[in-house]
Amino acid sequence: MYFQEFLKSLKVIIIGYDHKNKLITLKRYNNTKKYKCGHAILINYNYFQSCYNITKDRKCLHAYWEGDYLVYIGKRYEIVEEIGRCSNSCLYKGRDSYDKQLVIINIIDKGIIRSEKFISNLIDESTSINEINSPNILKVKDVGMDKLENGTELYYVISEYMEGSTLNQLTKFHKLNMDEIIIIFRQILNALEVIHSYDIYHGCLQPSNIIIDEGYNVKLSNIGIIKSNNKIFNNGIKRFSKNLKYMCPHQICLGYTDKSSDFHALGVILFELIFGEHPYGEAKNEEELIRRMDKGICWRKIDTGKSPEKIINIVKKLLSRKHRYQTPQEVMIDLSEYLYEVENICEKDEENENIEQDLIVNKDGYVKNKKHIHRFSKFAALGAIAIVSFLVLGMTIK
């Protein structure tokens, strides 16, 4: 009786029980007892019972239910904790129960799926991705669909594990300087250059899909999902999402995705990293966002004085609707020009520092070279010694 009341206080109801694996399936509901949209909850029964019997801490369980966390997927992968969420999926840190290795679990929102061959397409895309030898792309280990007892279908992708955080988590607590931004930007470009050469595109590039470790090594996740879904992105998304702000106009209006979508998303990400805000402001809905995109960015109102001009030009071209980059190589060429310029400036600064160290100013304000003065000092010392020796020798002869 008390246990049922406890479940009721959590707004959770048991809708399935797996006696063999001792797992219970639960679903959250609102005040009208209508099931919430989202995933059902799988949890180990003994763990749930122990939370109730031993701690009886409602706050603990409320925190646990927040976000509708899962515990197992595919009857193999244990979900440890959430890494990040985007508009069409959720990333979890997980563990493979077979070999106990850590993995990244990507639960895909069924609401976006429009292709009947989604899983077979995703397997083909994942196979192609695994053939790519790039340090900036997460390798895929498994793809599948898990059907729960209540009929809920969960599509998932299992990838190699990388210790770190998503880009949006990193920038939430740390303001990146230009050097850090360029390091991250170059690696994203490297990843896009490789996948575009294989006729693969990301399609939903956003900070929550970019994983970064402590050494600023970058890996992209969620590659191939949109293409597996017949290039459709936002069909089925009923409400305006902040993640749609990384989408280009033809993705938002038509739901169609191609390689150019990656350049627009990259431009938005780079703009946010530099200026700390979205290039089109805080739009409340899709219509307002499209209007702002059509109007364009008013660069006169943006303080670009502290940012390198060549980098600003890259951002402008990434976000341009008429003269946008066609390949990642074009972006890399412009970025290389900036890096070459910075390298030359650094070399000149080092040369100037060396010259300054070798120069001093005399009493009359004339600049003399330290090396020459040092050489003159040697000759002067030798001359003084010779004169003293001559005087001493003369006095001795007398």
Instruction: Give 358's contacts (C-beta < 8 A, 6+ positions apart).
Output: 369, 370, 371
The distance of Cα 227 from the centroid of its chain, to the nearest Å, equals 20
Smallest CA-to-CA distance from 289 within 320, 346, 249 is with 249
Q: Residue 313: its pLDDT value, please? A: 95
Q: Residue 335: its pLDDT value, please? A: 95
Q: Residue 167: its pLDDT value, please? A: 94
Contact 174, 167 (CB under 8 A): no
pLDDT at residue 9 is higher than 60? no
Following DSSP, what letter does each residue of 303-370 receive, concatenated?
A: --TTS-HHHHHHHHHHH-SSS--SSHHHHHHHHHHHHHHHHHHHHHHHHHHHHHHHEEE-TTS-EEEH
**For residue 19, what are its two tokens?**
């006696």
Contact 212, 164 (CB under 8 A): yes
What pTM does this model have?
Answer: 0.68
Q: 317-328, pLDDT tens digit by residue?
A: 999 988 889 999
Phi (first) and psi of residue 72, to 5 degrees: -130, 150
Q: 177-230, pLDDT tens digit by residue?
A: 999 999 999 999 999 999 999 888 888 899 988 999 989 999 998 887 666 655
Q: 231-279, pLDDT tens digit by residue?
A: 555 444 444 455 678 888 888 887 778 889 999 999 999 999 999 999 9
Strand partners, 368: 360
Pairwise pLDDT comparison (276 vs 30), residue with the higher score: 276
pLDDT at residue 367 is higher than 70? no
Smallest CA-to-CA distance from 108 within 50, 138, 173, 153 is with 153
Q: Residue 213: its pLDDT value, please? A: 92
Q: Residue 368: its pLDDT value, please? A: 47
Per DSSP bridges, beta strands 89-96 and 77-85 are: antiparallel
Contact 157, 140 (CB under 8 A): yes
Residue 265: DSSP 8-state: H
Q: Which residue has tokens 């959430």?
A: 82
Pairwise pLDDT comparison (98 vs 22), residue with the higher score: 98
Distance separating alpha carbons of residues 301 and 275, to the nearest angstrom: 12
% residues pLDDT > 90 (the chain): 24
Contact 45, 23 (CB under 8 A): yes
pLDDT at residue 65 is higher than 80? no
Name which of 164-173, 299-308, 349-358 the model is least confident about.
349-358
pLDDT at residue 98 is higher than 80? yes
Q: Residue 212: its pLDDT value, please? A: 94
Give the CA angle between residues 253, 254, 257 to the nearest 5°. Answer: 110
